[in-house]
Amino acid sequence: MKIIGLTGGIASGKTEVAKIFKKYGFYVINSDEIGHNLLSNEEIKRKIIEMYGNDILFNGQIDRKKLGEIVFSNVEERNRINQLIHPFVIADIINRVQQALEQGHKIVIVESALIGEYEDRLPEWLNQLILVVCPEEVRIQRLMNSRNLSYEEAKQRVLSQKNPDEKIPIAKWIINNNNDFIKLEKEVERIVKEISDVTG
């Protein structure tokens, strides 16, 4: 089995790319989705409340909007949250990879913004990496439209992450996503063919 990472900056379009891979029958794991679900985990919830108090709650659940405002405006807080949640995310990914293996899948795509974020090499559990790149201004506009953020808020979120260009040296494939969906599909199709040729 091959485990291939799929990463890119916030609002780069990596989730759209993941959907295209799913269309081709690839087993795709979305680590952001796992992370969001883990906010309901009682142990994680308790620790987040210990960090930020009951103000972080909305209707008894972790308020993702408030938490987002904290982590995207403060590097130290973002690292604290990642250190808390990341081991649970990895454990869940490992379980899902095992399920994919049992179901007979030869390729697993793991979509995660954190791949290559804190190191300059590919994690040991990954075989190869796909990087989605997109102009900064396009990403800012997408965030403003999709999350109802101001220009400054959107820019802060984009700049809170490592510059995606710094991940190019560890990526096997680069996908340029400039709002042309037909071109995006063709780029993914090219990678699908290359992967399929290698795995048979």
Task: Tell me the backbone φ, ψ of residue 39, rounded to 5 degrees.
Answer: -65, -15
Q: State how far the Cα of 75 lies from the Cα of 51, in Å rounded to an integer.
A: 15
Q: State how far the Cα of 191 lies from the Cα of 24, in Å rounded to an integer.
A: 11
Question: Residue 31 sits in which domain range?
Answer: 2-199
pLDDT level of residue 158 (50, 70, 90 thresholds):
very high
CATH number of the domain to which 16 belongs = 3.40.50.300
78: its two tokens: 């973002």
Query: Which pTM value belongs to this model?
Result: 0.92
**Strand-pair partners of 27:** 108
Q: State how far the Cα of 179 lies from the Cα of 134, in Å rounded to an integer.
A: 9
pLDDT in tens, 87-142: 999 999 999 999 999 999 999 999 999 999 988 999 898 999 999 999 999 999 99
Q: State how far the Cα of 174 lies from the Cα of 191, in Å rounded to an integer.
A: 9
User: Contact 29/93 with Cβ under 8 angstroms?
Assistant: yes
Task: Report the side by side order of strands in the sheet with 128-133.
Answer: 27-30, 107-111, 2-8, 128-133, 173-176
Q: State how far the Cα of 48 lies from the Cα of 10, in Å rounded to an integer.
A: 23
The structural domain count of the chain equals: 1
Looking at residues 2-12, what average pLDDT do you find?
A: 96
Output the pLDDT for position 178. Answer: 86
First to last CA, the chain: 12
Output the pLDDT for position 76. Answer: 93
